[in-house]
Amino acid sequence: MTTPAGDPADDLAHALLDLHLATEAEGVLRRCAQLTRRALGAPGVSILVLDPRLSEEPAVTNGESPVAHLLETEEEGPAWTAAQELTTVHVPDLHADDRWPRWSSAAVDRGARAVLSVGLTTPGRRTGALTVFSDRTGRFTRSEVRTVEHVAEHLSAALGWHRKVDDRDDIIETRRMIGVATGLLMARYDVSDDRAFELMRRHSHAHHVKVREVARHVVEHRELPGGRPSR
Which residue type occupies 37?
Answer: R
| Residue pair 97/130 in contact by the 8 Å Cβ criterion | no
Distance (Å, whole) CA 115 – CA 225: 54
pLDDT at 116: 96
DSSP assignment, residue 113? -
pLDDT at 86: 92
Got the DSSP string for 179-200?
A: HHHHHHHHHHHT--HHHHHHHH
| Residue pair 152/118 in contact by the 8 Å Cβ criterion | yes
| Residue pair 78/115 in contact by the 8 Å Cβ criterion | yes
φ/ψ (deg, to 5) at 167: -65, -45
| Residue pair 211/204 in contact by the 8 Å Cβ criterion | yes
Which residue type occupies 208?
Answer: H
Distance (Å, whole) CA 209 – CA 201: 10
**Which residue ranges of the chain lie beneath pLDDT 50?**
1-6
N-to-C CA span, the chain: 61
Which residue segments constitute the domains of the chain, with CATH numbers given?
8-160 (3.30.450.40), 168-221 (1.10.10.10)
pLDDT digits (tens, 9 = 90+) for 29-78: 888 888 888 888 899 999 998 887 777 788 888 887 677 777 766 678 99
Distance (Å, whole) CA 164 – CA 44: 30
pLDDT at 118: 96
